[in-house]
Amino acid sequence: MNITVYLASSTGNDHKFEAAVKELGTWIGASGNTLVYGGSKTGLMGELAQSVLQAGGKVIGVEPQFFVDEEYQYEGLTKLIVTKDMAERKTKMIELGDAFIAFPGGVGTLEEVSEIMSKISLGHLQAPCIYYNLDGYYDDIKHFLQQMIAKGFSSEEKQQGVYFAESLEKIKELLK
């Protein structure tokens, strides 16, 4: 399966995220799945791609031209798709994905995974959307989604397919 992962192009300030992203990448590569991600060589994005490749897996990077112009792309990917802008990048990453994981990241990660949730809610996407909730990183989003239901702006049916996983083992269970 193609697993699209959204995550930071920086490493953050907690080294446990680096260890966890390497563990995720090793599993993706060793399990015969393919990683789809933003194509960058920097931060957690670069660590993830490297770990998938080192485990013998395939990696498809989707990088907008302006990042390629700045030479942010990871060299040596199985395939690099260059898009004209971020909107085209998001569309291509969704088209390629069979499952979606939001690893801890910043505003870009949040924006990308929000589109996945919206498509699931509208019934336009039938794929799991998993928040990798390491150390409770996404607890506030989980609470916010519950608040949407409590206030009548969403429903459990519309959020079906959105999951929170505290460990790689839970992600593996969800993707069986």
Query: String of b and e for 114-151 (b: at least 16 CB within 10 Å)?
Result: ebbbebbbeeebebbbbbbbbeebbeebeeebeeeeee
Which pTM does this prediction carry?
A: 0.96
For residues 55 and 59, give the distance between their C-alpha atoms in angstroms, rounded to a whole number. 11
- The total of structural domains in the chain comes to 1
For residues 165 and 83, give the distance between their C-alpha atoms in angstroms, rounded to a whole number. 31
pLDDT at position 100, please? 98
At 20-71, the pLDDT tens digits run 999 999 999 999 999 999 999 999 999 999 999 999 999 999 999 999 999 9
Q: What stretches in the chain show pLDDT beneath 50?
A: none
CATH number of the domain encompassing residue 96: 3.40.50.450
Domain that holds residue 19: 2-174
